[in-house]
């Protein structure tokens, strides 16, 4: 014999529906988060002179760097300004290569994400490998 009254059956059905809605909402939020912060929007390479690389952060220590790109770009009519590339590095080996060759001319491969997460770095651009490295030789003149 079933001991559930019609009111208890309704409540049990309501709980199942509510639980299903909550699970679907959580899955949608997890999917949106993963798409926003882990979907690789683009891959590419940039070349220029490494300005600096530093490991910093309050909770998560991440490698952050800046490179002055080859050439100049004008963002405003009649104005010329330097073109900088700010990036993060997740691989310790890549960070050590960059740090030991500060001021050198690099070609770097990077991935671009839609957003940054604190444990990966402060930038949407994550450098994952060094394509080429040319050191500045004293008296050799400027690099291209």
Q: What is the pLDDT of residue 116?
A: 87
Q: What is the pLDDT of residue 14?
A: 82
Whether 104 and 49 have beta carbons less than 8 Å apart is answered as yes
Residue-wise pLDDT for 83-104, tens only, equals 899 999 999 999 999 999 988 9
Residue-wise pLDDT for 9-64, tens only, equals 666 788 888 999 999 999 999 998 888 888 889 999 999 999 999 999 889 999 99
133: tokens are 């490295």
Q: How far apart are the first and last CA of the chain?
A: 87
Look at the pTM and tell me if it is higher than 0.75: no
* Position 75 pLDDT exceeds 90: no
Q: At the fourth CATH level, which superfamily is domain 40-134? A: Nucleic acid-binding proteins (2.40.50.140)
Domain edges within the chain: 1-38, 40-134
Q: List C-alpha distances in Å: 64 to 41, 111, 115, 120, 144.
A: 20, 14, 15, 10, 24
């Amino acid at each position: 014999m079933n001991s559930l009254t019609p009111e208890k059956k309704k409540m049990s059905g309501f709980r199942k529906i509510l639980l299903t809605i909550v699970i679907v909402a959580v899955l949608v939020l997890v999917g949106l988060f993963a798409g926003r912060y882990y979907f690789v929007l683009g891959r590419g390479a940039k070349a220029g002179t490494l300005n600096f690389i530093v490991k910093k952060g309050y909770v998560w220590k991440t490698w952050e760097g800046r490179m002055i790109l080859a050439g100049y770009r004008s963002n405003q009519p009649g104005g010329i300004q330097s073109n900088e590339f700010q990036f993060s590095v997740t691989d310790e080996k890549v960070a050590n290569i960059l740090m030991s060759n500060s001021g050198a001319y690099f070609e770097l491969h990077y991935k671009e994400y839609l957003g940054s997460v604190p444990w990966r770095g402060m930038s949407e651009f994550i450098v994952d490998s060094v394509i080429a490295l040319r050191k500045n030789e004293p008296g050799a003149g400027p690099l291209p």
